[in-house]
Amino acid sequence: METIALEARVRELLERARGTSGGRAAETLYGGHEHALRQTLLALTAGAGLAEHESPGEATLLVLHGHVRLSSGDASWEGRSGDLLTIPGARHALDAVEDSAVLLTVVKGP
């Protein structure tokens, strides 16, 4: 069993994101291609985001730091530190309203 200090990883990943032209950095904490479950820590600087994309399966987004906006079609949802957002099965996008870090949990469909 492995214990991961999320607060420390958030700080490190936000620093890495600040040093990139796209304003984002990510690290898979658990899972991968050989697992159904995958958890990825994603850091975004204010104004950075993920363009609209397909959902790879059931997914949630836990906001660990900051403020993000999840959008799908004409709908959008705000998430702040401590909020858990359910990601729709439709195309969606994620934008950081301020420097943010989220834990993306995905269970791939069959």
* pLDDT for position 110: 66
Helix, strand, coil share of the chain (percent; to 5): 10, 55, 35
Q: How far apart are CA 90 and CA 100, in angstroms?
A: 23
* pLDDT for position 79: 98
Is residue 1, in this structure, part of any structural domain at all?
Answer: no
pTM above 0.75, yes or no: yes
Collect the ranges in the chain with pLDDT lower than 50.
none
Is residue 77, in this structure, part of any structural domain at all?
Answer: yes
Residue 63: how many other CB atoms lie within 10 Å: 20
Element of type H or E holding 84 = strand 84-86
* pLDDT for position 101: 98
Angle at 33 between CA 60 and CA 37, to 5 degrees: 35
What range does the domain containing 51 cover?
A: 6-108
CATH of the domain at 63: 2.60.120.10
Is residue 31, in this structure, part of any structural domain at all?
Answer: yes
Rounded to the nearest 5°, which phi and psi values hold at 54? Answer: -75, 155
Q: How far apart are CA 40 and CA 105, in angstroms?
A: 7
9-21 pLDDT, tens digit each: 999 999 999 999 9
- Looking at the structure of the chain, the number of domains it has is 1
